[in-house]
Structure 1
Amino acid sequence: MKKLSEQEIEKKLEKLEGWEFVDNAIETSFQFDNFKEAFTVMTRIAFECEAQGHHPDWSNVYNSLSISLSTHDAEGVTEKDFKLAQSIEDVIEGDKK
């Protein structure tokens, strides 16, 4: 998969609220009411990651979740990262309903 240019990344980020291009990856974070809610969302995201065969660098501390996406084989951000980012957003939105 082709590594995207910084201009391409910035353009695509316009459609993903709360995501930023940092250290050759796209990143975001979420806050939840408690640990159980954060972990439940992480589990849902994990199933989507497995389905796409693409896995984030992420961390969880109590009610916060930080996610960083890059395609290691391409040494940068690719369409694959944006596809997973959108899926993550869909999971988060689904939890708010």
Structure 2
Amino acid sequence: MEKLSEKEISDKLQEFEGWEFHENSIQTKFEFEDFKETFSIMTRIAFEAEAQQHHPEWTNVYNTLSISLSTHDAGGVTEKDFKLAATIEKIIEVE
């Protein structure tokens, strides 16, 4: 998988509300009703990430989920990151 240029990343981010390019990754933060809802969504994301063989860097504090996506093998952001970001957005929309 080939690393995307900053222009390509910027163009693709237009489709993702709340995501930004920072520290060589695309990042976002979500807030949910409580810890239980947050953890439930994290579990759904984990199954999808495993299916895609692409795993997020993330942190969870109570009802807040912070996600950072980068393809370490490519040394930056690739199409894999945007594919997983789109999957995450679909999971969040369902909730």
The runs of at least 4 aligned residues of structure 1 exceeding 2 Å deviation read none
Q: Secondary structure at the match of 2:73?
A: helix
Q: Percent identity?
A: 68
Give CA deviations for 1:52-79 in whole Å, capped at 9, x if unaligned.
0000000000000000000000000000
Alpha carbon RMSD of aligned pairs, Å?
0.3
How big is the shift at 1:8? Answer: 0.1
Partner of 2:36: 36
Give CA deviations for 1:12-52 in whole Å, capped at 9, x if unaligned.
00000000000000000000010000000000000000000
Unaligned runs of 5+ in 2: none
Unaligned runs of 5+ in 1: none
The structure with the greater share of residues assigned to helix is 1
1:46-57 paired onto structure 2 within 5 Å: 46-57=46-57
TM-score (norm 2): 0.99
The residue type equivalent to 2:37 in the other structure is E
Find the aligned partners of 2:94 and 2:86 in 1 and give their Cα distance: 12
